[in-house]
Structure 1
Amino acid sequence: MTAAPDSFVTRLTRLAERPRATVLVRCTGALSAREVTAAQLLDGCGGTAGALRAAGVRRGDKAVVMTRDVCQLVAAVYALTAIGAVPVLIEPRAEVRRCLDEIAPGVFIGEPLAHVARRALGWGRGHVRTALVTGRDFPGRGQLLGQSLPLAIPDGSGPAPRVPEPRPEDLAMIAFTSGSTGRPKGVEYRHSTLAGQLGALDAVLRPEAGDVLLSCFLPFAALGPLLGLTTVAPQVDHLAPARTPAGHLVGPLLRHRATLVLGSPAVLGLIAGHCARHGLTLPSVRRVLSFGAPLRPRLAEGLAKALPAEAEILSVYGATECLPVAAIDADALSSLRIEPPPGHAGTCLGRPLPGISARILDPDTTGLGEIAVAGPVVSPAYHARPDATAAARTVADGTLWHRTGDLGRLDDEGRLWYLGRKAHLVTGDGFTLTTEDIEATADTAAGVRRTAVVGVGPAGRQRAVLCIEPEPGVRKDAVLDALRAALGDHRHGRRIGTVLFHPRFPTDIRHNSKIDRARLAALASTYRKGGLR
């Protein structure tokens, strides 16, 4: 019988076994950094837990944590967990007020700017009873924004917190979905869920002694120390990751000799482009993990040029509700794009990770249907959203499955193939197009940065429009010639009624990698049939 994965608290307590080890590196810019040892982290966790109790935060309280500083995030999340409170992670965006009204948090922890927005925009109004402000103090801050929560990095001489082991079914955290594929929802993580996710991350990262993780996504940086990794958090623009200066990523990577790199395609593209422009290589890196959107061959090839020959580039599949689920090496991904199994066009996601199962719900005659996932990484519910929970859960063969909303197939070797979102199907007169079927091929055309298929018109009578984001400086006629060549033998190539050029696709705010197809479709609807070709 397989042993249960170690819990969040067990991993936190284990940090005391290596007190002098550097577990967290907070970077500012390309060169400046602050290193935090395990002893300092645990000392800070204990001090913050005491400050939270003194402020009236109690077990079971839901506490929004909104800060861009990785040290403040780690101190707050770890300390809240230590006292049995529930951290709530959400990006600042237009829907925050409605989201917080939904979950009714009693505590709001954040930097001054977050509290200014809270006061001005009514975030948590009527629910938040305890407002705690991080960062430097200033006169009148307490009256204006809330009481101070000191989160300075201590010297490490204080005691580690005494953290009781929670029950697996206890609520550990609420993390909101990005809203890029629908209305944002608060995803519940029980302690068993977090344990399963940390165990699955172990399986996909395969950490070794001395590994250094460059995490370009703030929540993953908070988990890095629990994975036993020295975790480097670069200064990413977390509201617009693709606008991060590339030197802020590559500089820390080289300086701290990162062996593992984790980021979205948009952020990894910045690293690959910077290395190409400056003739740089990344000799310490042995594994790169791409997540948040499909990994395209051109990006994988660009990254590979900067990496040692033996380094791996993995495309990781998952969602806020179930992360991670599957992974595939870029070399295997490239070969499968060239010769996919019959009837299995799209993008291969690889096999599910150990302990995780995937199946296809309601498959058609070709095996295409909705991807469903089961296993310890799956969230049990959306918080305060029983309607959404019921819609996303199904029971099959006595097992509870999460419906991902993604379309896919399973091949004879047990590999998952992704063909896009159910909500993004294009249905025309006598045809149905999945987005990934066309895009995985169109994205290989020279001069194309990426593509997006959208439907214009009512369902069942839609016109298929292929939107193109070209590489800078290329001629449209050259791009069109390359697209015709790429799609010439594609079984659905003739279904594309219009080609529309767009200088930069709108994307999600979390990763800048998921394409906002609703906005693209609205733009495409303003062009007559046959528009830009």
Structure 2
Amino acid sequence: MTNCNIGAALHESAAARPDALALVTGKNGQYEQWTFRELLETSCRYANALQGQGVERGQRVMFMVRPSLDFIALTFALFQLGAVVILIDPGMGYRNLLRCIGAVKPEALIGIPAAQLFSRLFPKPFKTVRRRVCVGPSFGLGGSTLAAACKRVSADFSPAVTTEDELAAVIFTTGSTGPPKGVQYTHGIFFNQLKLIRDYYGIGSGDIDQPGFPLFGLFAAALGAAAVIPDMDPTRPAQVNPAKFVRSMLDWQVTYSFGSPAIWNVVSRHCIAAGITLPVKKVLMAGAPVSGELISRVQQIMPEGGTIYTPYGATESLPSVSITGEEILRETWPKTRIGQGACVGRPLPGMSVQIIRPVNGPLAEWSDAQQLPVGRIGEIVVKGPVVTRAYDGNEAETRLAKVRDGSGFWHRMGDVGYVDEQGRLWFCGRKAHRVLTAAGPMHTICCEAIFNEHPQVLRSALVGVGKAGAQKPVLIVELKEKVPDERRLFNELRQLAADNSLTASIKTFLIHPGFPVDIRHNAKIFREKLAAWAEEQYPFTPASR
């Protein structure tokens, strides 16, 4: 590929396989489908139409369209133009949404009627918007409609020849440990992500993807694979309708799928109960630690020879590390269950991983970092071709997260963990979630694993109450179902704690009705919210002490 513009990748896919299936959308078994030629022609018409409306290279475009043909074709159209695509999860809550929009300063808004109305109801964050295109009827609120703009436009368009360092998109983090931040994605980052996905996971032409996260539908088309957009709300993966998700997989013989563990938890239970084997040969689960129990369940619904991967990364660096489900079950899951952390695998080709002594403030240069030896828990940092360089308009956070090393940068993942003697990375929790006691730090993933073994515990969360350096560890559990005798449950949890040196200092246990989780994956636990809730419970009831 001579042009690193991801929009050019669609041209290459269409040239190689013009009549092959590229995209499928639909509900309740009623589908629409497009070939690569049709997808490219639609995207080119949209690029010409948007250009006619004044959208141009380098312009910041707030993009608010539901997963659909329009989502895929318009995103490729914006990349072809060289515009900067702004993508924000609408499920993050309107306060966060408005703050993020205001921070990114969009110059154009392309969105469905509801998005256009939203921008009129809350005009301040949209004050920089000069151009509007409504995807659907505008009712006089959204400027020109896409349909009107597309009249009499050509289906030919030459994508902008972009440089590796040219800004392509701003994609926001989930905000699982603080306000969501806009991550600057260059065309080079997208290009290198495509290469990693193609070469490491062996995905390409002839594959059929069903992405649980809409953006991954773009990667499929750019790799010459087809994308089947599932009938689901991508902002609520845990509420996926498994029958609908499975039906489209079977109807189109999907060969691989990327999604949150929350999706696969629901889908695997449905398939096992119904006796369904899916056609998927590769399943990628990411966004939160994946349990061996879930891996085992998903294996049961895949054909013989199918492979599960659990990539590790972040919005700022994805993917960085990976491991197969088979290796987890064979070698690492037994260690995870006794508190040694979650193994997330080895660095992907071109990626480097190091463990450094945790530091609260910025690290300006790599020479300022103290690298830790094998087996020592510290702060995880990564370097490589998919590591982003900056947060958008947020120099303070950029300084905190990036460490300069010559002409490149290490990204501080915000996680703690260690590297074993085989070069595998083990994740022990978020750095911000450590419980800082007088006896030293306690790590969430390691400690929680002990209590997740209890048959009545759905999941657990370790939080600290009090001042950092003298925090009291509190273990909060979410139960599979209500228990008749809470006192007995607390006694059993207390015994589990006493039997392991990692958790022996935990004396206080609380039951929470339902853990708050992140919007994007519905799997990352908002421990900050649980910590505040635990503070409110103080003084703790006698049964929980």
TM-superposed CA distance for 1:123, in Å, is 5.9
**Residue 446 of structure 1: aligned partner:** 455
Q: Any idea what the Cα deviations from partners look like across 1:7-66, whole Å, max 9, x if unmatched?
A: 52442221222111111111324x222212101111111110111011111111000111
Is contact 1:39-1:160 (8 Å) kept? no
Letter in 1 for 2:377: L
TM-superposed CA distance for 1:163, in Å, is 1.3
Q: Do residues 281 (structure 1) and 311 (structure 2) align?
A: no
Q: Any idea what the Cα deviations from partners look like across 1:126-162, whole Å, max 9, x if unmatched?
A: 2011121102x2xxx35223321139999xx974421
Q: Distance in 2 between matches of 1:88 and 1:281?
A: 38
**Residue 32 of structure 2: aligned partner:** 34
Q: How does 1:8-157 map to 2 (within 5 A)?
A: 8-16=6-14, 17-29=16-28, 31-92=29-90, 93=93, 94-122=95-123, 124-135=125-136, 137=137, 141-150=138-147
Is contact 2:64-2:110 (8 Å) kept? yes
My pick for the range that moved more, 416-425 or 476-485, is 476-485
Is contact 1:292-1:513 (8 Å) kept? yes
Q: Any idea what the Cα deviations from partners look like across 1:237-291, whole Å, max 9, x if unmatched?
A: 1232212222221111111111112100111111112112322221x12111001
Q: Distance in 1 between matches of 2:454 and 2:413?
A: 30
My pick for the range that moved more, 331-340 or 184-193, is 331-340
**Residue 357 of structure 1: aligned partner:** 352
**Residue-pair matches, total:** 522
Q: How does 1:322-361 map to 2 (within 5 A)?
A: 322-334=317-329, 335-339=331-335, 345-361=340-356
Please give the TM-score of this superposition, normalised by the length of structure 1: 0.91
Q: Distance in 1 between matches of 2:149 and 2:140?
A: 22
Q: What secondary structure does 1:437 align onto?
A: helix
My pick for the range that moved more, 38-47 or 427-436, is 427-436
2:313 counterpart (301, 311, 318) = 318
**Residue 304 of structure 1: aligned partner:** 299
Is contact 1:70-1:222 (8 Å) kept? no
**Residue 463 of structure 1: aligned partner:** 472
**Residue 367 of structure 2: aligned partner:** none
Q: Any idea what the Cα deviations from partners look like across 1:138-191, whole Å, max 9, x if unmatched?
A: xxx35223321139999xx97442113211111111111111222211111111
Is contact 1:8-1:191 (8 Å) kept? yes
Is contact 2:459-2:478 (8 Å) kept? yes
**Residue 214 of structure 1: aligned partner:** 210
Is contact 1:200-1:354 (8 Å) kept? yes
Is contact 1:5-1:196 (8 Å) kept? no
TM-superposed CA distance for 1:395, in Å, is 2.6
My pick for the range that moved more, 520-529 or 220-229, is 520-529
In the alignment, structure 2 segments of 5+ residues that lack a partner are: 358-370
Q: Distance in 1 between matches of 2:400 and 2:438?
A: 29
Q: Distance in 1 between matches of 2:495 and 2:295?
A: 22
Q: Do residues 509 (structure 1) and 519 (structure 2) align?
A: yes
Q: Distance in 2 between matches of 1:208 and 1:191?
A: 20
Q: Distance in 2 between matches of 1:497 and 1:526?
A: 17
Change (3 A) 1:153 1:36: farther
Letter in 2 for 1:148: T
Change (3 A) 1:153 1:360: farther
Letter in 2 for 1:374: K
Q: Distance in 2 between matches of 1:145 and 1:164?
A: 27
Change (3 A) 1:340 1:499: closer
Change (3 A) 1:204 1:292: farther
Q: What secondary structure does 2:120 align onto?
A: helix
Please give the TM-score of this superposition, normalised by the length of structure 2: 0.89
Q: Distance in 2 between matches of 1:287 and 1:472?
A: 33
My pick for the range that moved more, 103-112 or 119-128, is 119-128
Is contact 1:21-1:38 (8 Å) kept? yes
My pick for the range that moved more, 434-443 or 412-421, is 434-443
TM-superposed CA distance for 1:490, in Å, is 2.4
TM-superposed CA distance for 1:466, in Å, is 1.5
**Residue 180 of structure 1: aligned partner:** 176
Change (3 A) 1:388 1:23: same
Q: What secondary structure does 2:382 align onto?
A: strand
Is contact 1:444-1:486 (8 Å) kept? no
Is contact 1:24-1:232 (8 Å) kept? yes
Q: Any idea what the Cα deviations from partners look like across 1:54-91, whole Å, max 9, x if unmatched?
A: 11111110001111133121122111111111111012
**Residue 365 of structure 2: aligned partner:** none
